[in-house]
Chains A and B, each alone.
Chain A
Amino acid sequence: MSKSAKPVLELRGVSKQYAGGIKAVRDVSLSLDEGKLLALTGTSGCGKTTLLKLINRLEEPSGGSIVYEGADVRQFDAFRLRRQIGWVMQGDGLFPHFTVRQNIAVVPRLLEWDIATTELRVREMMQLVQLDVEAFGERYPHELSGGQRQRVGFARALAGKPDLVLMDEAFSALDPLTRDDLQRDFKRLQSELGFSAVLVTHDMAEALILADEIAVMRDGQFVQSGTPSQLLAEPADDYVAGLLDTPRRQMRAIAELGG
C-alpha cells in the first residue's frame, strides 16, 4: 500500500438536490487514489447513480466540489471531461442504429484516433469481453442478449483508454461464469493499465473481491467507507454488518443443502 499515490478523484462535501426537491446526495466526501477501485453499494434509490453522474457532469452538484486529476471538474469542457472518463451506464444505453463495432468505436472516433488504431482497439475490447469479432461485430444491439449488450457497454466504456471508469452495475446481467471471467479480466486490465474505477454494485461478494475500498450509502449519505477488511472487522452499524454478511449467509445456506 503506497500512500504516496496522488488522488485521481476527490469529492468534498458534495450534495445534490433534484428539481423536485429530492435530496439524492448529501454531503459526500471521498478520495480515490490512482489505480484503485472504489465499490459503491447501498439500497435502491440511495443515490449511487446520481453520485456517478455528478462526477462526469451529467448532473451539476448543488453544493461542494469535485476535483478530477487536480482540477475542479467545472474547469473542463463537459464533453472533453466525459471522453476521459469511461462510463458504463445502468441498463446498456447502446446506440440502436450502430453495430457492435460502431458502438465500441464511439469514443476512439470522438478522440480522432486513426482508423487502424481504432479497429485494433475494437478487436482488443471485443476479445476482452469474450465476444467473437466475426460473429458479433456487425450485429445491432437488438440482435444481442441482455448479457451480451452489457458486455458491449463495458467494452465501449474502456475503448478510449480512460483514466477513470465509472461503472453502474456493469456485471449485473451476466451469468456467474462469464461474470467471474470478466471480473478477473477487468482486474488484470486495471492493474496493467492503471486506471481507477468507481463500481456501483448490489453484489457484496463482487465488492469484497474487486474493491480496494468500499463505501456503503444510505439516503444519499455515506454510512461507512474503508477497506474491505476494515469494514468486515468493524461494521459501523447493523445495516452495514447485515450487508457484509450476505455472501457468508449464502455460503452457509449452500453448505447446509450439501448436508
Chain B
Amino acid sequence: MNENLAERLNELPDLLSGHVLLSLSAILVGLAISLPLGVFAAPRKRFAAAVLNIAGVIQTIPGLALLALMVPLLGGTIGYAPAFMALMLYSILPILRNTVVGLQGVEPGVVEAARGLGLTQKQRLWQIELPLALPFIVAGVRTSIVWVVGAATLATPVGAPSLGNYIFAGLQTRNWLSVVFGCLFAAGLAVVLDQLIRLLEVAARDRRKMLAVQVGALLSALVVASVLPRFVEFTPPAQPQISQQFASVRAEEGALDDEIVRLGAKAFTEQYILAELMEQVLVDAGAEVERLDNLGSIIAFDALRNNEIDAYIDYTGTIWATVMARDEPINRHAMFVEMAAYLREEHGILTLGRMGFENAYGFAMRADQAEALGIRSLADLAVHAGALEVGGDAEVFTRSEWINTRDAYGLGAISTRAMDATFMYDAVRDGQVDVISAYTTDGRIAAYDLVVLADPRGILPPYDAVILLSPEAAERPGLADALAGLVGSISDDDMREANRLADLERQTPQQAASWLYEQVTE
C-alpha cells in the first residue's frame, strides 16, 4: 500500500463517523418530514402534485451545487449544518413520492370495507393504509439512503468531514488509490445500510421479532461505533520532529500552550503543504491544531470571516477578484497593501504578511512546441491562435485575467477546454491541449519541461500568498507572533520544489512540509 494512504487510514474512524452521523441524521429528519407530508398529501391530488414537483426540482440541483448553496443560505456557516440541510432536502423526494404512491395505490374497495366496518380515519391509516403502503415506503427510504450516503461524500468542500475527504484529497494529489478507497468505503456503507433496512422490512412483514431485534442491535452498534470517536480522544503517534536548532521561523516554545488553533486549507496540494507547515510551527509552540481541509475557495474565506477557522493561506489576486470584485490591473505591492487594508476594515481580518512566493496564473506550454512555433510570450500566441487549444480549470475562463489576456493579446480565435486542474499538466504534456493556465508554483512545470509564457504587457494579476487571521484570531497576539515567522520565508523555488515532492515524488504533504520547514529554518 502506498504510504500516503497508510497515513490517511488514521483518519478513517473520524471520517466514517462523520459520514454515518451526517447521513443518518439527514435521513431521519428527512423521514420525519416526508412521511407525514406524504400522508397528508396522498388524499389531496393537487397538493400532492405540487409538493412532488417542488421536491423533484430540488432533486435536479446537482448535489455539489446544493451543498455549496446552503453555505450562503445559512449565512456563511460551514461544516455540519449546510451539509445536513442539503442532504436532508435530498432525502425527501424518494420517501415522499413512494409514500404518496403507496397510499394512493391502496385498493379503494379495501378502504371502503374499512370504513364500512367502522374503522375511524386514524384506524384506517394505521391499520390498513400504512401497512399496505409499507413496502413502497421502505423502498423509498432505501433509495434515499443510497442517494444520501453517496452525496455525503460531497460534504467535504463545505467543511463537513466525510469519506469524501479521501476522494477530494486523492483527486488533488492524484492519489487514485485514495479516490478508489473513498468510493468503495462510501459504497460499502450504502450497501450495508440498505440491506439493514431491507431486513427490517422483512422482519416487520413476517413479524419476526428476533430478526427485528438483531437488525436493531446492528444499527445501534453502527451508530454507537460512529459516535464514539467524537468522544474518545485519539492520540496520533508522535510525529518525527525536525532538528531544533534554527530559531528564526520557529515560534517560542510553549508560547501557545494548550491553545486550540483551527487551520483551513483549500483543496489543492500547495494548500495542504502550507496548512501542514503552519501546523508544525504551531504545534512546536505548544498549540493543539484542528484542521479543516478541502474547503471550497469562497467557503474558506467565509469560514475565516465568521471565525469558524482561525487562519488559512490565500492569494492576493484571488481576494482582489472574488472578494473585492475588482478587476483593474495594479502592481503587486500596491495590491497587497490595498487588500490588507480592505480586509481589516471590512471584515476585521488580519493580513499577517506575504509568504514570499507568488502562485499566479500563467500560461504554459511544452518547451519543444513553443520553440518549434517560435513562441516566447503571450504576444506570440496570436498568430497561431486559430490552431491552438487552451486547457484550464472551470473557474479560470470566467475570470477577468483570462478575458483581459485574451483581449489584450488578440487571442479571440483560440479554443478553450475546461478540466480539473489535476489533469491539466498531463494534458499539455501529452499534447491533448497546447496551452494551459498553469499555476506558477506547480512542480510539474519544471518536471514536464514546460515553459511559462511571458506577459510583456503586465496583464496577469499578482498572486502573493498571504497568511490571513480571522477577526477573533487577530486578537490572539501569541498566534499572530507564532505565524509571523513564516512571513517572507518561502521563495518561488522552494514552494515549487515542495509541490513537486508531493505531486511527483509521492511524498505526503506532511513530508513535503517538513522539507519546507527545514529550508525556511536554515
Q: Do A and B bind each other?
A: yes
- Give the size category of B's interface with A: 10 to 19
Chain A residues contacting B118 (CB-CB under 8 Å) are 79-83, 107, 110
Q: By DSSP majority rule, is chain B's interface helix, strand, loop, or mixed?
A: helix
CA A91 – CA B114 in complex, angstroms?
Answer: 14
Stretch from B105-113, B238-246, B366-374, B410-418 contacting the other chain? B105-113
B115 located at the interface, meaning its Cβ lies under 8 Å from any Cβ of chain A in the complex: yes
CA A79 – CA B112 in complex, angstroms?
Answer: 12
CA A79 – CA B117 in complex, angstroms?
Answer: 8
Contact B116 A93 (CB under 8 A): yes
CA A192 – CA B123 in complex, angstroms?
Answer: 32
Q: Which of B117, B119, B132 lies in contact with A97, CB distance below 8 A?
A: B132
CA A57 – CA B123 in complex, angstroms?
Answer: 18
20 further A-B pairs in the complex, CB-CB below 8 A; given A83-B117, A94-B113, A97-B128: A58-B112, A79-B118, A80-B118, A81-B118, A82-B118, A83-B118, A87-B116, A89-B113, A89-B116, A91-B109, A93-B109, A93-B110, A93-B113, A94-B110, A96-B110, A96-B132, A97-B132, A106-B117, A107-B118, A110-B123
Chain B residues contacting A82 (CB-CB under 8 Å) are 115-118
Chain B residues contacting A156 (CB-CB under 8 Å) are 117
Contact A97 B131 (CB under 8 A): yes
CB distance from A193 to the nearest CB of B (A): 19
A interface residues with partner B (beta carbon < 8 Å): 53, 56, 58, 79-83, 87, 89, 91, 93-97, 106-107, 110, 156
CB distance from B133 to the nearest CB of A (A): 10
CA A87 – CA B119 in complex, angstroms?
Answer: 13
| 8 nearest A-B residue pairs (beta carbon) | A93-B113, A83-B118, A82-B118, A87-B116, A79-B118, A79-B120, A97-B131, A93-B109
Contact A95 B128 (CB under 8 A): yes
Q: Which residue of A lies closest to B121 (CB)?
A: A79
B interface residues with partner A (beta carbon < 8 Å): 107, 109-110, 112-120, 123, 128, 131-132
CB distance from A104 to the nearest CB of B (A): 11
CA A95 – CA B130 in complex, angstroms?
Answer: 12
Q: Which residue of B lies closest to A87 (CB)?
A: B116
Contact B110 A95 (CB under 8 A): yes
CB distance from B173 to the nearest CB of A (A): 54
Q: Which of B107, B117, B131 lies in contact with A110, CB distance below 8 A?
A: B117
Contact B109 A89 (CB under 8 A): yes
Provide a sorted-by-A list of 14 A–B residue pairs whose CB atoms are within 8 angstroms: A53-B116, A56-B116, A58-B112, A58-B115, A79-B119, A82-B116, A83-B117, A89-B116, A93-B113, A94-B110, A95-B113, A96-B110, A97-B132, A107-B117
CA A53 – CA B115 in complex, angstroms?
Answer: 11
CA A66 – CA B201 in complex, angstroms?
Answer: 46
CB distance from A161 to the nearest CB of B (A): 13
